[in-house]
DNA sequence: AAGTTCATCAACCGCTAGTTT
DNA sequence: GAAACTAGCGGTTGATGAACT
């Protein structure tokens, strides 16, 4: 037995909303609220719309204090950082950006931000190829940069996982890290994410951001404190936002490794691409890729998740 | 000027989780 | 406890306008 439809689709209008419909919905909700039942709303105000459609229209467009477009550099950084940390949990990301909707952020990421990052990455890769750096030279530079920059204190914090997560196909080329694999990682941290419903929005001013605690997951952590560290993410995020974080964007771009991402192949990569693996480490991801040690031999050595300085200099 | 491609974004769809009956 | 129902979420689609040929 299938589910009953949420509305009578035959008698429901679809497509763009007219100004009259907007006005009806807005006026009613402002005067009476939603009544906690979106399904019942349209008939009450004479709208031939699905309740879901009304809800979406209100949340994404009619609701007060909605901002459209004009994303700031700060917002870009927050979105990137959170995407790297928690993946495509747009509602959670939106909760950190007052006035932004999940739909808006999702669209912005898919249409602009991702491309922006990829474009920059591509330029850098071309520059590297042109400079004829050897792999060894690159490794040395990246390693030195890593050690000197104290970057780990600025990167998005990856919550401590209950255990080292074995990825399927450990013989896989480590450079062929795709979003699918990231999804696998996200899956393993889903318990942590599920508690994120208690997230409070970032306040809009710099000082407030720095001082506020955005993630209240510690309250939900329980005795085993499985969320240990995740609570510290806001500090890392604040630092990320208000310090010179070009390195973060660089890392993100390298992480997306255009060549790997675009065609999804696992071909042996050139020295230029190989840097992406080191950058993944430098982004602060835990030792979840430990099945790839053999392949990592040619990569810069970075502190492992268990080492004391993993999340920053002592 | 006309046709085509690309970029953007509002809206829809299907699914899941939570709540109510 | 099971079924029905709703809210919310994320992925995807389609309409539209801009840019390009």
pLDDT tens digits, chain A, 314 residues: what are they? 334 455 666 677 888 888 888 888 888 888 888 777 888 888 888 888 888 888 888 888 888 888 877 788 888 888 888 887 788 888 888 888 888 888 888 888 888 888 777 766 666 777 776 665 555 555 454 444 444 343 333 334 333 333 333 333 333 333 333 444 444 444 444 444 444 433 444 443 333 333 333 333 333 333 333 333 333 344 434 443 333 344 334 434 444 443 333 333 333 333 333 333 323 333 333 333 333 333 333 333 333 333 333 333 33
Strand B contacted by A108 CB (< 7 A) = yes
The 8-class DSSP code of residue A163 comes to S
Rounded-to-integer distance, Cα A289 and Cα A219, Å: 30
Strand B contacted by A63 CB (< 7 A) = no
Q: How many Å from the CA of A84 to C1' of C13?
A: 26
Q: How many Å from the CA of A36 to C1' of B19?
A: 12
Q: First-to-last CA distance in chain A?
A: 60
Strand B contacted by A53 CB (< 7 A) = yes
Q: How many Å from the CA of A2 to C1' of C2?
A: 15
Strand C nucleotides where any atom sits below 7 Å of a protein CB: 3-12, 15-16
Q: Which residue is nearest to nucleotide C13 (CA to C1')?
A: A15
Q: Enumerate residues 6+ apart whose C-beta is below 8 A from A228.
A: A160, A221
CATH superfamily of A12-62: Homeodomain-like (1.10.10.60)
Strand B contacted by A61 CB (< 7 A) = yes
Q: Give the residue extent of every domain in chain A.
A: 12-62, 79-296
Q: Which residue is nearest to nucleotide C12 (CA to C1')?
A: A107
CB A65 within 8 A of CB A94: no
DSSP string, A177-196: --HHHHHHHHHHTHHHHHGG
Rounded-to-integer distance, Cα A75 and Cα A246, Å: 14
Query: Which of A240, A252, A284 has its CA nearest to residue A121?
Result: A252
Strand B nucleotides where any atom sits below 7 Å of a protein CB: 7-14, 18
């Amino acid at each position: 037995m299938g589910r009953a439809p949420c509305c009578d689709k035959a008698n429901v209008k679809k497509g763009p909303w007219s100004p009259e419909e907007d006005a009806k919905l807005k006026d009613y909700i402002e005067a009476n609220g939603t009544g906690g039942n979106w399904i019942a709303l349209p008939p009450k105000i004479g709208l031939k719309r699905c309740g879901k459609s009304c809800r979406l229209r209100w949340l994404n467009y009619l609701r007060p204090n909605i901002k459209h477009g004009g994303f700031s550099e700060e917002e870009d950084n927050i979105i990137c950082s959170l995407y790297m940390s928690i993946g495509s949990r747009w509602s959670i990301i939106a909760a950190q950006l007052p006035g932004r909707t999940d739909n808006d952020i999702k669209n912005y990421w898919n249409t602009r931000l991702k491309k922006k990052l990829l474009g920059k990455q591509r330029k850098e890769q071309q520059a590297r190829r042109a400079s004829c750096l050897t792999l060894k030279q690159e490794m040395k530079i990246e390693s030195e940069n890593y050690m000197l920059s104290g970057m780990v204190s600025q990167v998005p914090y990856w919550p401590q996982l209950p255990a080292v997560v074995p990825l399927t196909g450990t013989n896989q080329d480590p450079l062929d890290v795709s979003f699918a694999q990231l999804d696998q990682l996200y899956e393993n941290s889903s318990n942590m994410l599920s508690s994120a419903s208690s997230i409070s929005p970032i306040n809009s001013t710099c000082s407030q951001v720095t001082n506020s605690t955005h993630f209240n997951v510690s309250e939900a952590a329980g005795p085993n404190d499985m969320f240990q560290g995740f609570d510290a993410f806001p500090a890392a995020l604040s630092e990320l936002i208000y310090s010179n974080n070009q390195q973060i964007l660089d890392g993100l771009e390298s992480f997306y490794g255009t060549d790997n991402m675009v065609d999804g192949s696992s071909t042996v990569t050139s020295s230029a691409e190989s840097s992406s693996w080191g950058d993944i480490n430098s982004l602060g991801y835990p030792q979840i890729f430990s099945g790839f040690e053999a392949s990592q031999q040619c990569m810069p050595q970075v502190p492992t998740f268990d080492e004391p300085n993993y999340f920053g200099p002592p």
